[in-house]
Chain A
Amino acid sequence: MTRRAFPVAVMTLLLLAAWYIGAAWLNWPQAAETLARANKPAGFADVLAQAYAMKRPILPTPDQVVVELWSSLTGYAPTSPRNLLFHAWVTAEAALTGLAMGLLLGLLLAAGIVYTRTLEASLLPWVIASQTIPILAIAPMIVVILGNIGLTGLLPKAVICMYLCFFPITVGMVKGLRSADPLWLDLMRTYSASGLRAFWSLRLPASMPFLFASLKVSVAISVVGAIVGELPTGGQAGLGARLLSGSYYGQTVQIWAALIMASLLSVALIAVVRGLELVLLGRAGAR
């Protein structure tokens, strides 16, 4: 345990050190200027202290971010828009809905591609092309178009998530559904099993490790998709809205707190997927 913890601890310390050095370097001119304007002494230690205590720093220090995060999480009710948990939940809701939609679409496309040769030739290029369009460019279009037909709130964001999520699932499942050993397929044939039976009893279970690998990628980009989806709406709620309002008012500490919250959300969702994987495949897959 300590052997594994040690390298992680060293790396964390190095990153934190780099962060503090970066914060001092980036905030230095602004800090020096503030001190000069206030006619205060501007020795090295004075400027450094000022650089680490700015209200709107270029790069806030880790302790500033942690304090902001902590006061947001503990200072307000979880249903309050001033609590980051509230925003994280709004984003997670859209991300999970989009992930579910993307999972369904990805599975249907993968099954179609695996079972129909013409679909592989006709569909796969479009699936790949869909991911070459920058999501930042297409997200506002999706919001505008869906808003125009009366769909607002969660759904446009979920559609953006789906657009990002279905790709890794399609690619992973095309490989997964083809991963069955030829001998396993021969066995199904000796049982004169139907195609549907071979799908349920062989191809689908054989593809599960691939599905979970894809899901871990999908769940993380789904959170990104939901945040991007919250930007063009003007943003009342969600981590994306929080980032946007932070940037309007130059609240860099608030932005960084929302960023940390977003990554915590992704990590938590990936952990849930990993947990599901262990429960479903653990004993069978482990060696």
Chain B
Amino acid sequence: MTFPNPLDVREASASGQGSDRAASSARSPVVVEARKLSLVYPTADKPVTALSEVDLTIGRGDFVSLIGPSGCGKTTLLRVIADLERPTSGRIAIEGMTPEQARLKRLYGYVFQAPALYPWRTVERNVMLPLEIMGIGRAERQARAREQLERVGLSGFERKFPWQLSGGMQQRVSIARALALQPDLLLMDEPFGALDEITRDHLNLHLTQLWRATGKTCVFVTHSIAEAVFLSTRIVVMSPRPGRILDVIDCNSLPRERTLDIRESPEFAAIAHRVREGLKEGHSYDD
């Protein structure tokens, strides 16, 4: 697997995203704000509380990880932000708008657990799909798709079909597809969950470089403690039944620039320990 040199990425972003960043600094420092957010699913026997009175603020440029065991509502929370689920009560604002308005304005890019590439489209045409829907012209569509594929290290794979790529490469295509929209907010739902650990390390390193280069706000769902600590500026620890937030951990003790080595540092271990304690507190290891 090949990745572009991080320096190239930074340079590409300086020309490509410079205007974006200048514009974003003028806007409110808060991107996502949730207050007393609850979501209850009606089921046959008894209603299930997926989210219970969740309060969360995500600042511009943050990398926030939502961590917790299955059923803690981390994916639900992400889907509420994306307007793929409607909360039953409470307030949530994305850039000061309702999630629906934000979705209609295509303010976020969403990366699913599976690559969710359309098998009948080539890699390039998969990345161009959101741009087609936005009504962007053919030449610009192609230029943007190529730029994003280069950014995720997949130049030369434009004409391949998804089944010709490995799982890790497919997931990188889906990240390129989300980036092609040029969103300020990137929502990722366990994007590397199905990959082997070596590939996952590579992609984590790549993602943190991408995040630093583009200055995007990222919300990242995971159930891996190491992954959460490695990537995040803040970690939100969640617990199931009902889905709620137990702890919000700042990772300021780690440098903004991350290499795989920091995982050996005592600061890293301290944060990982606190996350583990938080998860224990929620009795999430009991079942």
* Contact surface of A with B, Cβ cutoff 8 Å: 181, 183-184, 186-193, 197, 201-202, 205-206, 208, 281, 283-285, 287
Which chain B residue shows the least CB distance to A188? Answer: B133
Q: Are A181 and B116 in contact (CB under 8 A)?
A: yes
* Interface residue B84 (Cβ < 8 Å from any Cβ of A): yes
Report how far A281 CA is from B118 CA in the complex, Å: 13
Residues of A within 8 A of B211 (CB): none
Q: Nearest chain A CB to B270's CB is how many angstroms away?
A: 36
B100 nearest in chain A by CB position: A192
Using A201-B129, A283-B161 as known contacts, say yes or no to A183 and B114 having CB atoms under 8 A apart.
yes
B47: Cβ under 8 A from any A Cβ: no
Distance to closest chain B CB from A265 (angstroms): 31
Could you mark each residue 113-149 of chain B with 1 if its beta carbon is under 8 Å from any beta carbon of chain A, else 0? 1101011110000000110111000000000000000
Report B241-274 residues with CB < 8 Å from chain A CB: none
Q: State how many angstroms separate the Cβ of B257 from the closest Cβ of chain A.
A: 30
- By the criterion CB–CB under 8 Å, are A189 and B84 in contact? yes
Residues on the B chain within 8 Å of A287, using CB:
163
A285 proximity list for chain B (CB < 8 A): 119-120
**Contact between chains at A205 and B114 (CB < 8 Å):** no
Partner of B116, one of A187, A191, A208: A187
Min distance, Cβ B23 to any Cβ of chain A, angstroms: 21
Are A184's CB and B118's CB within 8 A? yes
CB nearest to A192 among chain B residues:
B104
Q: How many residues of B contact A (CB 8 A)?
A: 25
- Which has the most chain A C-beta neighbours within 10 Å: B82, B103, B119? B119
The reply to whether B82 and A284 contact each other, CB–CB distance below 8 Å, is no
- Contact present for B103 and A184 (CB under 8 Å): no
Task: Please tell me if the beta carbons of B161 and A186 are within 8 angstroms of each other in the complex.
Answer: no
Interface of A is mostly: helix
A40 to B27 CA separation, bound complex (whole angstroms): 110
On chain A, the residues within 8 Å of B112 by CB distance are: 183, 186-187
Most buried by A among B82, B104, B118: B118
Beyond A186-B110, A208-B120, 19 additional contacts (C-beta under 8 Å) are A183-B116, A186-B112, A187-B116, A190-B103, A191-B133, A191-B134, A191-B181, A201-B118, A201-B129, A205-B118, A205-B120, A206-B118, A206-B120, A281-B120, A284-B120, A284-B121, A284-B161, A285-B120, A287-B163
- The docked-state distance in angstroms from the alpha carbon of A184 to that of B118 is 7
B106 within 8 A of A: yes
A198 to chain B, nearest CB (A): 9
Residue ID in chain B nearest A190 by CB atoms: B110
Residue contact B84 to A191, C-beta cutoff 8 Å: no
Residues of chain B touching chain A, judged by Cβ–Cβ distance below 8 Å, are 82-84, 103-104, 106, 108-110, 112-114, 116, 118-121, 129-130, 132-134, 161, 163, 181
Chain A residues near B84 (CB-CB < 8 A): 186, 189-190
Contact B132 A201 (CB under 8 A): yes
Bound Cα distance from A159 to B182, whole angstroms? 52
Which chain A residues border B133 with CB–CB below 8 Å?
Answer: 188, 191, 193, 197, 201
List 22 contacting pairs A-B, 8 Å CB cutoff, sorted by A. A183-B112, A183-B113, A183-B114, A183-B116, A184-B116, A184-B118, A187-B110, A187-B112, A188-B133, A189-B83, A189-B84, A191-B134, A192-B104, A193-B133, A205-B118, A205-B121, A206-B118, A208-B120, A283-B161, A285-B119, A285-B120, A287-B163
Q: Which 4 A-B pairs have the closest CB atoms?
A: A284-B120, A183-B116, A190-B110, A191-B133
Contact check: which of A189, A206, A284 meets B103 at CB < 8 Å? A189
A98 smallest CB distance to B (angstroms): 28
B-chain residues with CB within 8 Å of residue A284 when the two chains form the complex: 119-121, 161
In angstroms, how far is the closest chain B Cβ from the Cβ of A218?
22
A189 and B133 alpha carbons, distance in the complex (Å): 11
Residues of B within 8 A of A283 (CB): 161
Chain B residues within an 8 Å CB radius of A205: 118, 120-121
